[in-house]
């Protein structure tokens, strides 16, 4: 345990939950955490920084809780660092290394400020360029599995630079993040994609892969959009292999989805869509 220099108005305490020496996250992650805290120092008064093996978790404390009573390194915070470490390991295995910097503000209002101009209404977490912001009430409602899924999903966005590659197809960005998120969760397709499964069982199959509009907060079939995207990426991984899915994503960032599909899978959007619809029927009906 060591004290950091004062950062603006925030008083920081670094607590180790998993041994600092060889397993310590690169200083880059800590530097990133300090930089993003410096953008809103008023939110991080009394905050603690928890270091997992790789992840850095910054936890805010409600103004009503004196910093001296809010015990940095409390069990819930240590668990969060463990979950972030586990999520980061999965992202690193599939995609490559990522600095896992997680901001856990004390209130939804603070999360809203941190996430501006994006909102956090209805969200558990969201990814910025180099860090993940948790929305306390949304994230707090999740099961332990749900928290790990969400952290791996958002860390995938950070790793792949989703916040700075706006022209990527939404189904690939969200589907790939959920593909990584649900890895190792042992959840069945029908459990994860319950809303979509209900539609498929009643005889309705989506005609096309979900576009950007389908992922807007408040969209009428928002859960189904994520489920459709997840199953599109899961289909690619099942049929062509996980490495092909990663190659598709990387190629789409470089030269767009149409060229990427031909280059990496030898297919086109119409063929992929038809195969995906068959996969939905097979997995969900």
List of residues contacting Zn ion (CB under 5 A) = 174, 177
CB of 206 to Zn ion, least distance (A): 19
Rounded CA-CA distance 98/271 in Å is 33
Considering the complex, state which of residue 177 and residue 189 has its C-beta at the smaller distance from Zn ion. 177
Considering the complex, state which of residue 177 and residue 260 has its C-beta at the smaller distance from Zn ion. 177
Nearest CA to 280 out of 182, 215, 189 is that of: 189
Sign of CA dihedral 111, 114, 119, 125: negative
Rounded CA-CA distance 217/50 in Å is 31
CB-hemisphere CA count at 13 Å for 21? 0
CB of 174 to Zn ion, least distance (A): 5
Strand partners, 3: 13
CA dihedral 26, 168, 135, 83 (to 10 degrees): -40
Considering the complex, state which of residue 230 and residue 279 has its C-beta at the smaller distance from Zn ion. 230
CB of 229 to Zn ion, least distance (A): 9
Alpha helices, H only, the chain: 27-39, 75-94, 108-115, 136-140, 144-160, 170-182, 189-192, 194-201, 222-240, 242-260, 269-284
CB of 224 to Zn ion, least distance (A): 15
Considering the complex, state which of residue 15 and residue 196 has its C-beta at the smaller distance from Zn ion. 196
Considering the complex, state which of residue 17 and residue 123 has its C-beta at the smaller distance from Zn ion. 123
CB of 66 to Zn ion, least distance (A): 36
CB-hemisphere CA count at 13 Å for 104? 27
Considering the complex, state which of residue 17 and residue 232 has its C-beta at the smaller distance from Zn ion. 232
CB of 192 to Zn ion, least distance (A): 15
């Amino acid at each position: 345990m060591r004290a950091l220099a004062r950062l603006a108005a925030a008083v920081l305490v670094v607590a180790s939950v998993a041994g600092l020496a060889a397993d310590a996250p690169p200083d880059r992650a800590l530097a990133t955490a300090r930089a993003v805290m410096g953008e809103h120092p008023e939110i991080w008064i009394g905050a603690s920084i928890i270091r997992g093996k790789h992840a850095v978790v910054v936890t805010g404390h409600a103004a009503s809780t004196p910093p001296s009573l809010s015990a940095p390194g409390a069990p819930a915070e240590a668990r969060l660092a463990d979950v972030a470490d586990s999520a980061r390991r999965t992202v690193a295995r599939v995609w490559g290394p990522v600095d896992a910097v997680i901001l856990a503000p004390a209130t939804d209002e603070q999360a809203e400020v941190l996430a501006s101009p994006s909102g956090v209404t209805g969200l558990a977490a969201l990814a910025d360029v180099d860090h993940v912001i948790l929305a306390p009430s949304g994230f707090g409602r999740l099961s332990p599995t749900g928290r790990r899924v969400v952290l791996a999903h958002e860390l995938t966005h950070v790793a792949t630079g989703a916040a700075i590659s706006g022209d990527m197809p939404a189904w690939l960005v969200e589907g790939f993040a959920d593909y990584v998120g649900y890895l190792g969760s042992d959840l069945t397709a029908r459990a994860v994609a319950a809303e979509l499964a209900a539609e498929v069982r009643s005889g309705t199959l989506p005609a096309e892969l979900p576009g950007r509009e389908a992922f807007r907060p408040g969209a009428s079939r928002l859960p189904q959009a994520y489920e459709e995207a997840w199953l599109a990426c899961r289909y690619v991984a099942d049929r062509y292999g996980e490495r092909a899915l990663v190659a598709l994503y990387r190629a789409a960032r470089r030269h767009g989805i149409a060229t990427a599909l031909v280059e990496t899978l030898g297919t086109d959007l119409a063929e992929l869509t038809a195969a995906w619809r068959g996969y939905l029927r097979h997995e969900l009906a």
